Amino acid sequence: MAGKTNVVTWDSQGPDDIIYACEHDDLRTLTSVTVPEHAVAIFARDGQLTGVLEPGRHLITSSNIPWLTKLYNLALGYKETPFKVQIIFVSLKMFNGRWGIRGMIKAAQGYEVPITLMANGDFQFRIADVPVFYTQVLGGLQNYTTGDVNEFMRGFINEQITQQLTKQYYMDVLNNLEKASTTTKVLVEQYFVQRGIELLSLKINEVRTTEEDQQKVFEYLQFSSANGEAFRRYEIMESMADAIGASDGGAAMGTGMLLFPQMYQQLQQQPIQGVQGAPQGQQAPTTMCPYCGSPNPFPYKFCNNCGKPSPQMQMQQQGQPQQAPAQPVQTQAAPAQEPLKFNNCPYCGQNISGLPKTPKFCPYCSEQLY
């Protein structure tokens, strides 16, 4: 082999070089090996890992003695020496890397549908156990080059992060990237230790999903909140009013009830939930005022909170045929209220003793009671 030398060193190391393998594997005995301060050298002889050379100057010994090798060649017809020696330098510096993955992850707790996950970040590592790194990583590479090591690191860390992140929830990761970074590092660093690598840090810079999946998650979180269902009913009623026209007063609501009677009745029949959504008992049937949202006894003429007429009363006042109201569902019992101020309305004489409390406006004549 041309260019044989008696001195081996790593004098051309770049800032990002992790390993360097000496190009000669037929080094003669007493060859000088100089290891730089920031690295070590792996010494493999006759196919076995003999030792790790610390920083400094070393003399290697092997059976590759010039006259003995020449005798082997003449006697046995060898074209090259059978006494192979490998010198592989390994840097002990800290190295930076980047990772990026694409996979599937569960959206949120209670919403187990998988969505697309796209994430990227940074990591730092160093070679901590050189013999283990040589057997577990370098032993599986075709060439001992920094490019091969970097390619292994990118594929390995992407695989480990994908496995660990997809076990978490997308919204948990998105809402606390720092916690997700720490959790993921703790979960994956054991697999690096098994390969002689110390994972110094791991950071998740960004997580995102497709616009379609993002919209689905947003709608789920919006409508699963405490007031999400009521807000949705309010949006539907607003859309109905906008579609009908810009009529003031009760005209738009009355017309809308004629155009969409089934839809309106369904909205009106939604039960009013307690604070925790648990049944608190039963009370008289009620229906919701379309203006202020307050419950009223069913049927009613005027809202006992805002005093505006009910939709049935509006149609009657406008001379429109009155639609038979749908029976409302039973609502949950309200907490104990103050005693009634009146048993009968002082204006129209109607009996209001069955109400849980004295309303602000009489539900029969709409006169203000207090």
Same domain as 171, residue 239: no
Query: Who wins on pLDDT, 275 or 217?
Result: 217
pLDDT of residue 29: 73
Same domain as 122, residue 31: no
**Distance between CA 98 and CA 163 in Å, rounded?**
17
Same domain as 250, residue 172: no
In a domain, 335, yes or no: no
Q: Average pLDDT in the 50-55 region?
A: 90
Task: Tell me the pLDDT band of 261, cut-offs 50, 70 and 90.
Answer: very low
Q: Average pLDDT in the 252-263 region?
A: 48
Same domain as 148, residue 38: no
In a domain, 310, yes or no: yes
Same domain as 242, residue 140: no
Same domain as 182, residue 264: no
Q: What is the dihedral of CA 163, 166, 168, 172, to 10 degrees?
A: 130
List of residues 6+ apart from 266 with CB closer than 8 A? none
What is the secondary structure of 209-265 as a DSSP string? Answer: --HHHHHHHHHHHHHTSTTHHHHHHHHHHHHHHHHH----TTHHHHHHHHHSHHHHH
**Of the ranges 108-117, 200-209, 241-250, which is most confident?**
200-209
Of 52, 72, 91, the last residue of a domain is 91
In a domain, 348, yes or no: no
**With contact defined as beta carbons under 8 Å apart, do 304 and 363 qualify?**
yes
Q: What is the DSSP letter of 75?
A: H
Residue 168: Cβ within 10 Å count: 16
**With contact defined as beta carbons under 8 Å apart, do 234 and 140 qualify?**
no
Sign of CA dihedral 242, 243, 249, 250: negative
H and E: helices and strands count for the chain: 10, 12
**Distance between CA 314 and CA 319 in Å, rounded?**
9
Of 91, 109, 132, the last residue of a domain is 91
List of residues 6+ apart from 170 with CB closer than 8 A? 105, 106, 107, 108, 115, 117, 207, 209, 217
pLDDT of residue 274: 40
Looking at the predicted structure, is the pLDDT value of residue 282 above 60? Answer: no
pLDDT of residue 283: 55
Looking at the predicted structure, is the pLDDT value of residue 278 above 70? Answer: no
Same domain as 174, residue 67: no
As beta bridge partners, residue 199 has: 125
Same domain as 235, residue 148: no
In a domain, 293, yes or no: yes
Same domain as 207, residue 115: yes
Query: Who wins on pLDDT, 44 or 230?
Result: 44
Same domain as 105, residue 54: no
In a domain, 73, yes or no: yes
| Peptide linkage before 321 cis (omega within 30 of 0) | no
Same domain as 233, residue 185: no
Which run of H or of E encompasses 66?
helix 66-76
In a domain, 244, yes or no: yes
**Distance between CA 195 and CA 184 in Å, rounded?**
18
Query: Who wins on pLDDT, 91 or 269?
Result: 91
Same domain as 100, residue 81: no
Cα-atom radius of gyration of the chain, to the nearest Å?
40
In a domain, 170, yes or no: yes
Phi, psi of 339 (to 5 degrees): -65, 155
- Give residue 141's domain range: 95-214
List of residues 6+ apart from 104 with CB closer than 8 A? 114, 115, 116, 117, 166
Of 64, 91, 118, the last residue of a domain is 91
Phi, psi of 368 (to 5 degrees): -75, 130
Instruction: Give the total number of structural domains in the chain.
Output: 3
> Which CATH number characterizes residue 201's domain?
3.30.479.30
**Of the ranges 262-271, 316-325, 346-355, which is most confident?**
346-355
Task: Tell me the pLDDT band of 54, cut-offs 50, 70 and 90.
Answer: very high
